[in-house]
Amino acid sequence: MNTVLKTKGLCKTYIVNKRQNNVLKNIDLTINEGEMVAVMGPSGSGKSTLLYCVSGMDKVTAGEVIFNGKETAKLSDKELARLRLDEMGFIFQQMYMMKNLSVLDNIILPAVKSKKNHESRKQTEERGRALMHRLGIDSVGGNDINEVSGGQLQRACICRSMINNPKMIFADEPTGALNRSSSDEVMNELLSLNRDGTTVMCVTHDPKVAAKCSRVLYIVDGGIVGEKEMNHFDGGEKELRDRERELNNWLMEQGW
């Protein structure tokens, strides 16, 4: 299986009030194509920082991050932006969207901006609508972002992250602001994407969300202290409950 993301000795340090705060310490990590990896850990352990560092959204203090064969530290800001635009997708806990654009325009914005995309605007819009249809939000395309529910907005964010067919989607607590049913819907979409071949790295506090992933990393104080491999989840309720139980036991062993 091809490696999509690899880190070697990844470190991230912040200086706060003249004191050095080592948020990530020597992280070595490999994520292969088609994996769905959950990152868990207590608050302040460095989960989100890891996500931002590996996705090129934040600069690393030391170490290497190789995404799809490219070392991100060696890329210019422009090249990094291009990489994020064409090969990565992002989903945040808060459903950030451009307030002056409609839901559909928010979704197609990265595709319109991408130089890799040679479609006409109309074709892109149609593709955006198809994605929305797939995620069940095709009726709200023309709406302003304040006119849709949180669950619909998060699904729109997933559509935006998918619009350029990225190699990998990074999700930072994508269900953190949603109720259980919306959360399940969003996770099912991510699962479905993963089944179609998109690699997913997802930061979460929720064992039920992590139980749907094929691998779980456990971070404490900026270091990966545990890793649990699981089979690909095929979607059954019973299987999910079993996986969740298994994961909870493992997490308790890790000190969760």
Partner 1 sequence: MFMRILKKDLKRKKTMNIILLLFVIMCSMFAAASTNNIIAVTGGIEHYFEISNAPDATVDMRPNDEIKKEIENLPSVSEVRTESRICILDGNSLKRNGKKMDNYINMPVLISDKEFPMNYFDDDEKIIKEVPKGCFYAISVFTQDINISADDKFQFEIGDAKIELEYAGRFRGAFLGNDSNYSPCIIMNHEDYDLLYNDPAAESLKEDILYINTSDIEEINQLGYDNIYVESKSEYKGIYIYDMFSAYIMLAISVILMITSFVMLRFTVGFTISEEFHEIGVMKAIGMNNGSIRSLYIVKYFAISVVGSVLGFFGSIPLGNAMMKTITKNIIFVNESSILTGALSSVGIVAIIMLFCYGCTRKVNKLSPIDAVRNGQTGERFGKKSIMHLGRSKLPTTGFLSFNDIISSPKRFIVVTLIFSLCMLMMTIMSVFALTLKSEKILYLFDIPTSEAHIADLSYYPDIFTDFSNCEKAIEKTDKMLADNGISGKSGITMGSCYETFCGDKKAKIWYYVSRGLENDLFRCDEGYAPEKFDEIAMTGYAMEDLGAEIGDRVRTKIGGKEYEFIITGKFSTFQGSGHSVQLSSDFDGFALNDSISCFGIQVHFDGNPNEKTIADNIEKIKTVIGSDKVYTTTEMIKQCTQMSDTINAIKKMMMILTVVVTIMVVILMERSFISKEKSEIALMKAVGISNGSVIAQHAMRFVIVSIIACAVSLSVLRPLSNVIFNRICSMIGDVSGAECDINPVEVFAVCPAILIGITVIGSFLTALYTRTIKASDAASIE
Query: What is the contact surface with partner 1 in residues (CB under 8 A)?
Result: 48, 52, 56-58, 77-78, 81-86, 88, 90, 92-94, 96-102, 104-105, 108-110, 112-114, 121-122, 124-125, 128, 142, 144-146, 160, 172
CB of 225 to partner 1, least distance (A): 23
CB nearer to partner 1: pick between 61 and 254? 61
CB nearer to partner 1: pick between 56 and 63? 56
CB nearer to partner 1: pick between 62 and 112? 112
Helix, strand or coil, per DSSP, at residue 67 = strand
Environment class of 58 (CB within 10 Å of its CB; exposed 0-12, middle 13-18, buried 19+): middle
**Element spanning 72, H or E:** none
Angle at alpha carbon of residue 40, lines to 37 and 43, rounded to 5°: 150
**Element spanning 58, H or E:** none
CB of 163 to partner 1, least distance (A): 9
CB nearer to partner 1: pick between 144 and 246? 144
Task: Give whole-number Cα distances, 230 to 48, 75, 175, 222, 224, in Å.
Answer: 22, 34, 21, 23, 17
CB nearer to partner 1: pick between 171 and 186? 171
CB of 153 to partner 1, least distance (A): 11
Spatial CA neighbour of 193 closest among 170, 219, 220:
170
Q: At which residue do the structure tokens 């000190």 appear?
A: 255
**Which residue spans within 150-237 are E strands per DSSP?**
168-172, 199-203, 215-220, 223-229
CB nearer to partner 1: pick between 145 and 200? 145
Helix, strand or coil, per DSSP, at residue 52 = helix
CB of 223 to partner 1, least distance (A): 20
Contact between residue 56 and residue 83 where contact means Cβ atoms under 8 Å apart: yes
